[in-house]
């Protein structure tokens, strides 16, 4: 037998040769010093190449180099798959089908949503924050245990006096037009009307939908239902364009319930984030560092674009998951510790993610 060529050695080490060929190569490699050395070298190359490729895995998302403000606000480049509405419909159906299955398989996933009164969520303007009705937060916490989607005696989802006060006159118009019921402040709070005909194929229409206020519907069920109906590829694309770091107002003293929500979500995330981005801490870029110290009333948060357990997550500077977010027009709506905040997308700041 002639000396082994490098391709054959790699094929042998990769287990791609049939039994007879493998036996022949093995025998030759054992008796030929030159080929034995080549085999040893090939083993080194296989391991080395693998190691080099592994170092590529630590890739952040949503923290691409800062776009100039004009570019940031420009419409994202149009891509071919966006142009075809039927593709969007199919994708929505696919995402929905998988989402429903996932959700049904994992009862705890239902815990990841907090209901927000529609009126509050929809009428919030950029820069405003609203603390949610404590009863709703409490109710969502009580309902953590896995159970079927039977009706519960949830408190009526109405805007709290505090929320109304914060929203003032600007909020009242939208409040009147809101469908009431419950609506997720989560990413899925987008309007159910965006759902396409393709959604019906999946049978999700059977899931509880947002109904008139008197109908007792499990708040998180309705929120999840809405979320699933909302995430079209276009939405997902817009979200990814908007992900990144923002400076947000720090709300008042966090309540015990809000802390619980954050820690519960963090636990939930760590259990089910196998295929998602590693939780990452971030540091302001050098340009941003100067302003980091100023204004004790603000903090840097990172909006992650990866969809994990049906939610896009908000991370604090220390890398802890502190809430969820969604995009709404030109603002990002953040739900952090039971407080809904609205941040203009144009206010994105540069930051670096350190795993």
Partner 1 sequence: MTDVETLFRQYHAPLVRYLTRRLGDRDWAEDVAQETFVRALRQSNLSNERAWVFAVATNLVRDDARKDARRRRHLELLSAEAKAESGDEPPDELVRSEERAFARRALEVLSEKDREALLMKEEGLDYHEIAEALGLSIASVGTTLSRARRRLVDAYEQARSEERGGRRTG
Residue whose CB is less far from partner 1, 92 or 182: 92
Write down the least CB distance from residue 16 to partner 1, Å. 4
Distance CA 246, CA 291 (A): 13
Choosing from 306, 317, 320, 349, the residue that interacts with partner 1 (CB under 8 A) is: 306
Distance CA 106, CA 110 (A): 8
Distance CA 269, CA 280 (A): 13
Residue whose CB is less far from partner 1, 87 or 162: 87
> For residues 69-98, which are near partner 1 according to CB under 8 A?
77, 79, 81, 87, 90-91, 94, 97-98
If one asks whether residue 354 binds partner 1 (CB under 8 A), the answer comes out as yes
If one asks whether residue 59 binds partner 1 (CB under 8 A), the answer comes out as yes
Q: Is the dihedral of CA 173, 178, 182, 184 positive or negative?
A: negative
Q: What share of the chain is helix, strand, coil (3-state, %, to 5)?
A: 50, 15, 35
Binding segment toward partner 1, per CB under 8 A, in 253-261, 281-289, 292-300, 331-339:
281-289
Residue whose CB is less far from partner 1, 189 or 198: 198
Choosing from 180, 204, 262, 277, the residue that interacts with partner 1 (CB under 8 A) is: 277
Choosing from 5, 170, 215, 263, the residue that interacts with partner 1 (CB under 8 A) is: 5
Choosing from 176, 275, 290, 294, the residue that interacts with partner 1 (CB under 8 A) is: 275
Distance CA 1, CA 192 (A): 70
Residue whose CB is less far from partner 1, 76 or 168: 76
Structure tokens at 9: 């050695």
Residue whose CB is less far from partner 1, 25 or 124: 25
Nearest one of 60, 108, 67 to 304, comparing CA atoms: 60
Task: Give 69-75 contacts, CB < 8 A, sequence gap 24+.
Answer: 69/346, 72/345, 72/346, 72/348, 73/330, 73/345, 73/346
If one asks whether residue 10 binds partner 1 (CB under 8 A), the answer comes out as yes
If one asks whether residue 58 binds partner 1 (CB under 8 A), the answer comes out as yes
Write down the least CB distance from residue 227 to partner 1, Å. 17
Write down the least CB distance from residue 306 to partner 1, Å. 7
If one asks whether residue 187 binds partner 1 (CB under 8 A), the answer comes out as no
Distance CA 209, CA 226 (A): 7
CA distance to 122, 190, 192, per residue, from 329 (Å): 11, 10, 15
Location of structure tokens 């159970």: 147
If one asks whether residue 46 binds partner 1 (CB under 8 A), the answer comes out as yes
Coil/strand/helix, residue 280: coil
Distance CA 346, CA 292 (A): 18
Q: Which residues of the chain form contacts with partner 1 (CB under 8 A)?
A: 5-11, 14, 16, 42, 45-46, 48-50, 52-53, 55-62, 64-65, 77, 79, 81, 87, 90-91, 94, 97-98, 101, 233, 236-237, 240, 243, 275, 277, 283, 286, 289, 305-306, 352, 354-355
């Amino acid at each position: 037998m002639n000396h082994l060529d490098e391709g054959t050695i790699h094929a042998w080490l990769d287990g791609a040769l049939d039994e007879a060929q493998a036996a022949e190569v093995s025998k030759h490699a054992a008796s030929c010093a030159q080929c034995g050395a080549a085999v040893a070298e090939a083993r080194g190359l296989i391991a080395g190449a693998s190691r080099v490729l592994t170092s590529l895995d630590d890739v952040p998302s949503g923290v691409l180099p800062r776009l100039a403000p004009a570019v940031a606000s420009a419409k994202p480049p149009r891509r071919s798959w966006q142009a075809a509405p039927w593709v969007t419909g199919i994708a929505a159906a696919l995402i929905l089908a998988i989402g429903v299955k996932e959700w049904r398989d994992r009862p705890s996933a239902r815990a990841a949503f907090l209901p927000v009164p529609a009126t509050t969520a929809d009428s919030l303007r950029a820069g405003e924050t609203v603390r949610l009705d404590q009863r709703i937060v409490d109710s969502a916490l009580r309902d953590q245990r896995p159970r079927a989607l039977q009706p519960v005696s949830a408190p009526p989802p109405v805007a709290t006096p505090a929320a109304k006060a914060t929203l003032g006159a600007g909020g009242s118009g939208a409040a009147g037009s809101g469908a009431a019921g419950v609506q997720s402040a989560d990413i899925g709070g987008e309007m159910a009307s965006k759902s396409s005909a393709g959604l019906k194929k999946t049978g999700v229409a059977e899931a509880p939908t947002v109904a008139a206020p008197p109908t007792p519907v499990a708040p998180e069920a309705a929120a999840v239902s809405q979320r699933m109906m909302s995430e079209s590829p276009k939405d997902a694309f817009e979200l990814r364009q908007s992900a990144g770091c923002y400076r947000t107002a720090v709300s008042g003293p966090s309540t015990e319930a809000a802390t619980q929500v954050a820690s519960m979500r963090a636990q939930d995330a760590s259990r089910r984030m196998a295929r998602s981005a590693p939780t990452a801490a971030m540091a302001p870029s050098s340009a941003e560092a100067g302003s980091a110290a100023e204004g004790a009333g603000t903090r840097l948060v990172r909006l992650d674009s990866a969809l994990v357990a049906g939610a896009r997550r908000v991370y604090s500077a220390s890398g802890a998951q502190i809430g969820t977010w969604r995009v709404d027009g030109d603002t990002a709506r953040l739900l952090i510790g039971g407080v809904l905040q609205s941040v203009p997308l144009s206010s994105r700041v540069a930051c670096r993610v350190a795993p």
